[in-house]
Amino acid sequence: MADEQLPVRWLPVPERARGMRLDRFLARRFADRSRSQFAAWIKQGLVMDEQGQPLRASATMRGGEQLQIAIPGIAPDSPKPPFPVVLHEDERIVVVDKPAGMLVHPTGTAFAWAIIGLARERWPDADIVHRLDRDTSGVLVLSKDPEANVFLKAAFKTREVVKHYEALVRGTLVAGTYNVREPIGEAEGPIRIQMAVRPDGLPAHTDIEVLAHREVGGHRLTHVRCRLHTGRTHQIRVHCAHIGEGIVGDRMYGVPPEVFLHAWENGVDESTVRAAGAPRQALHAASIRMPHPSGGEVEVHAPFPPDMARWWADPTCLPLDEGHSDVPRGTAALLGVGDEEPGDDTDDESARVG
């Protein structure tokens, strides 16, 4: 039987699985593992019902129940993180301040703590309205009911939502506002999830306003504010790299492809962080203004994150920024190289990564 001290993963069984054997259901749900593997894990008592009682491989799924799973790699291997700070909540929507290093939605079949799972523990019908990359911090909107989700996604699609981001970019951008209207499509090269400015891409429009410059100890940074007019995959990151040297800490844009490929194959190590310039990409979703599903508008702001504030105040602490608990480091966040989501700035449902 599973160690009761270990975290378990609660897995809902959809109605369409009614009548299926437990081992067959799990093998279909997690297609990278075999039915015989699941049969062995079930025999070890690693799959339980809602009351914590071990199940048999031949157990028949009713549909609508929940399973408790303690299988390594499928169950969590770390304690549940705290829920993000709630910036706004009413009867229809929730807006949170997503910390860097936390996924919005799980990717792949391996377990990872993600905001949507934590949110549904509080609000069972919660759903994601848009997404942020794992390394991006700031404003994230969730709906509390299906109708609100449909309404808000439509508002994103019709560009009724105004979003502003703040970023620290490498080098010194000439003061002013850059009206970047450059189409974005898949990049040519060894990184299959990378995007690029290309003439046959989808229309993409970002305003990039230079707020300030900083040069200390040979480190040159520019603080910018970005407004999105479209929502393409990695749009801000691509456009910042197009007009300058890219966002500090970005492991994909503004650096040689070998930086990302090394991290993909070996995990993020000190050499990766040094090459990228910071422990994570310095991109923050600062504010959002949107129509409310019950009428009127709502505007929400997320405070500038402590790590980016520290990097701006003292760029000499980069690239490693050692000794601070808020720095995304180790497996808690640096594995984000393999967990890119549909874009730090994506609300376009047609945009997908991988």
Q: Which residues are known catalytic residues?
A: 133
What is the distance between the alpha carbons of residues 198 and 6, in angstroms, rounded to a whole number? 48
Take residue 193 and report the two structure tokens written for it.
């999830």
- Burial code (b: 16+ CB inside 10 Å, e: under 16) for 33-60 equals beeeebbebbeeebbbeeeeebbebebe
Output the CA angle 273-277-283, nearest 5 degrees.
100
* Chain-centre distance for alpha carbon 225: 20
Q: Which residue has the tokens 């290309």?
A: 198
Compute how many other C-beta atoms are within 10 angstroms of the C-beta atom of residue 209: 17
Strand partners, 75: 72
What is the distance between the alpha carbons of residues 140 and 165, in angstroms, rounded to a whole number? 12
- Burial code (b: 16+ CB inside 10 Å, e: under 16) for 110-120 equals ebbbbbebbbe
